[in-house]
């Protein structure tokens, strides 16, 4: 997991991290604690490259290749 922390940074991943931080900060300032979970979720997606922030939702990266004999 720590390999994902420092490698393969893309614009989308960076945007997830920044926007998650903005949502988290704004929700904490306004005392909207449910929003802090939402912001934290997006920050974790961007930071650790999981979910759509890691490009795992499109492009067939979830498909398992079939080996032909």
Q: Which pLDDT score, from 0 to 100, does residue 18 have?
A: 94
pLDDT digit of tens for each residue in the chain (69 aa)? 566 677 778 888 899 999 999 999 999 999 998 999 999 999 998 888 887 766 666 555 555 566 776
Can you give the pLDDT at residue 23?
95
- pLDDT reported for residue 41: 92
> Is there a contact between 14 and 20 (Cβ–Cβ < 8 Å)?
no
Long-range own/partner contacts, residues 9-12 (CB < 8 A, 24 or more apart): 10/55, 12/52, 12/53, 12/55
- The whole-number pLDDT of residue 58 equals 57
Q: What is the pTM of this model?
A: 0.71
**Tokens in use for 7?**
């490698």
CA end-to-end span of the chain, whole Å? 33
Centroid of chain to Cα 20: 9
């Amino acid at each position: 997991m720590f390999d994902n922390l420092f490698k393969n940074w893309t614009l989308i991943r960076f945007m997830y991290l920044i926007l998650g931080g903005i949502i988290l900060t704004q929700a904490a300032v306004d005392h909207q604690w449910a929003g802090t979970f939402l912001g934290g979720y997006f920050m974790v997606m961007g930071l650790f490259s999981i979910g759509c922030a890691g490009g795992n939702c499109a492009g067939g990266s979830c498909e398992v290749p079939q080996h032909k004999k």
